[in-house]
């Protein structure tokens, strides 16, 4: 316990954390009182019990894995009224001033080893890319039904107004309008009578593709690597009567052929792997028409390149990596792209993740029944840890607009603001339910 005690003594300068070790000894950290409410957690003191004699040693021995695993396995118990989100937000708010939130400073050798491991994990050949996608996105439909919005958007929502007064459904609708406005899409009547062809790479559960078809009467091909996502998306398109115009295929983007007027990738580049960025930008450049536009929305680092922590790579996003802007721009420029617009989306994802966390906690019993307690605690730790990265860390979202020819878009970006406002005015928050049986049972 001595090393964990040393770290917490140094780290906790606001609020209060009270830890009871396995042997019953109690340690108190911090001066007490409330830590800043804008940090998102509830005021302390936060009381934590270590229920296994291995817990403290596991946390300090494996800094990138230990805390998450200890919580998953029930070795860490946070006493009510607080929860793991409160603990994580309080600790990371405190450790921002340390510069390194690990339990002890990592030497050059330790950092080098982690970077090499992360680099190998980021090699996403076709076989491993599909396995990685299935690991994350082929969980039961009922799980995602419990915590996502009704359109099942598993990416950042866009909070134009006060997050506390904005529903997740509204914020996700506003996100789609915001993204679509940057694609400079045209309806058939404004495009010589021809519907535009759009490629949606990493289409998820089809919400954005169906939205684009509804708003622009365009033809959309969505591709992804998780079988249930594709099956679900095609079910949606058929039910809405647009399966002749909106199609979804279980396909690696590297195998897509044809020519498209627009390309979108939302939450996709985090799964490509840096070693594959040249291939991604080269292939998408080949698929897009000369006067086309590509929009990319992805999680990003507000600083230099780094690596994904071991816990996230092991349990949540194998093969995943959050890129720095320099990595995206450098590789796109080498493959014929011109960057026309970049927007750093700060804090929006922290509010999104907070809502996902609350909805997950609300459905605890159902999720435990679907899986087990370990999975439920793993999911809570993932959502709370991700939230702190966007709230207290250096992770943001990048929205980057690419063209092959800079005459493809208007000279000033006011068209985006006008189009976003138009889409919001005519758009409606979706009421379509994902699982009819669940809806009927609820009624």
Specify if 125 maps to a domain. no
Q: Output the average pLDDT for the chain.
A: 87
**Do the Cβ atoms of 206 and 235 come closer than 8 Å?**
no
Residue 121 resides in a domain: no
Give pLDDT tens digits for 153-208.
Answer: 999 999 999 999 999 999 999 999 999 999 999 999 999 999 999 999 999 999 99
Alpha helices in 54-167 (DSSP H): 55-61, 66-72, 84-95, 108-121, 126-137, 141-147
Report the DSSP beta bridge partners of residue 266.
297
Domain of residue 84, residue span: 2-98
Q: Domain of 199: which CATH number?
A: 3.40.50.150
Please check whether residue 127 lies inside any domain of the structure.
no
pLDDT by position in tens, the chain (length 443):
888 999 999 999 988 999 999 999 999 999 887 665 555 667 779 999 999 999 999 999 887 799 999 999 999 999 999 999 999 999 998 887 654 444 444 444 444 444 444 444 445 555 555 454 444 445 778 999 999 999 999 999 999 999 999 999 999 999 999 999 999 999 999 999 999 999 999 999 999 999 999 999 999 999 999 999 999 999 999 999 999 999 999 999 999 999 999 999 999 999 998 899 999 999 999 999 999 999 999 999 999 998 888 898 889 888 789 999 999 999 999 999 999 999 999 999 999 999 999 999 999 999 999 999 999 999 999 999 999 999 999 999 999 999 999 999 999 999 999 999 999 999 866 544 434 343 443 34
The answer to whether 138 and 228 have CB atoms below 8 angstroms apart is yes
Do 17 and 83 reside in the same domain of the chain?
yes
What CATH number has the domain bearing residue 93? 3.30.1050
Give the chain's radius of gyration (CA, Å): 23
Main-chain phi, psi angles of 432, to 5 degrees: -65, 130
141 shares its domain with 93? no
Greatest CA separation for the chain: 76
166 and 33 belong to one structural domain: no
**CA–CA distance, 385 with 59 (Å, rounded to integer):** 15
For residues 56 and 160, state if they share a domain.
no
- Report which DSSP code applies to 324: B
| 196 within a domain of the structure (yes/no) | yes
Same domain, 85 and 198: no
Q: Is residue 126, in this structure, part of any structural domain at all? A: no
Domain for residue 124, yes or no?
no
Q: Is the pTM higher than 0.85? A: yes
- For residues 64 and 189, state if they share a domain: no
Examine the domain organization and report whether 190 and 46 are in the same domain.
Answer: no
The number of folded domains in the chain is 2
Domain boundary among the residues 98, 114, 143 is at 98
> Do 138 and 84 fall into the same domain?
no
Among 98, 115, 147, give the residue marking a domain's end: 98
């Amino acid at each position: 316990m001595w090393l964990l005690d040393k770290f917490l003594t140094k780290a906790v300068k606001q609020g209060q954390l009270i830890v009871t070790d396995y042997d019953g000894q109690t340690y108190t950290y911090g001066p007490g009182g409330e830590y800043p409410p804008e940090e998102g957690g509830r005021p302390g003191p936060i009381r934590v019990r270590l229920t296994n004699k291995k817990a403290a040693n596991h946390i300090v021995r494996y800094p990138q894995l230990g805390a998450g695993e200890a919580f998953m396995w029930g070795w860490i118990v946070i006493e009510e009224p607080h929860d793991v989100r409160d603990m994580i937000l309080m600790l990371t708010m405190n450790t921002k001033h340390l510069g390194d939130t690990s339990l002890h400073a990592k030497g050059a050798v330790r950092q080098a080893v982690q970077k090499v491991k992360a680099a190998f994990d980021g090699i996403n050949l076709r076989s491993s890319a599909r396995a990685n996608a299935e690991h994350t996105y082929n969980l039961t439909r009922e799980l995602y039904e419990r915590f996502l919005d009704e359109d099942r958007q598993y990416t950042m929502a866009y909070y134009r107004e006060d997050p506390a007064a904005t529903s997740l459904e509204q914020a996700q609708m506003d996100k789609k309008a915001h993204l679509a406005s940057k694609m400079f899409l045209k309806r058939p009547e404004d495009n010589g009578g021809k519907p535009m062809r759009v490629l949606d790479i990493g289409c998820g559960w089809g919400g954005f593709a169906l939205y684009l078809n509804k708003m622009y009467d365009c033809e959309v091909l969505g591709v992804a690597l998780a079988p249930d996502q594709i099956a679900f998306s095609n079910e949606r398109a058929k039910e809405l009567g647009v399966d002749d115009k909106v199609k979804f295929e279980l396909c690696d983007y590297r195998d897509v052929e044809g020519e498209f007027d627009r390309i979108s990738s939302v939450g996709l580049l985090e799964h490509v792997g840096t070693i594959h960025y040249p291939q991604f930008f080269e292939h998408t450049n080949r698929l897009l028409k000369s006067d086309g536009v590509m929009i990319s929305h992805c999680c990003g680092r507000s600083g230099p390149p780094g690596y994904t922590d071991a816990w996230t790579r092991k349990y949540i996003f194998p093969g995943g990596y959050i890129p720095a802007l320099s990595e995206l721009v450098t590789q796109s420029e080498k493959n014929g792209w011109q960057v026309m617009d970049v927007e750093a989306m700060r804090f929006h994802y922290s509010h999104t993740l907070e809502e996902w966390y609350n909805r997950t906690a609300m459905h605890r019993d159902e999720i435990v029944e679907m899986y087990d307690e370990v999975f439920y605690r793993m999911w809570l730790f993932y959502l709370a840890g991700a939230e702190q990265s966007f709230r207290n860390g250096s992770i943001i979202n990048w929205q980057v607009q690419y063209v092959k020819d800079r005459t493809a878009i208007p000279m000033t970006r006011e068209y985006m603001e006008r189009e976003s406002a138009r889409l919001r005015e005519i758009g409606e928050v979706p009421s379509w339910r994902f699982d009819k049986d669940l809806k009927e049972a609820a009624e």
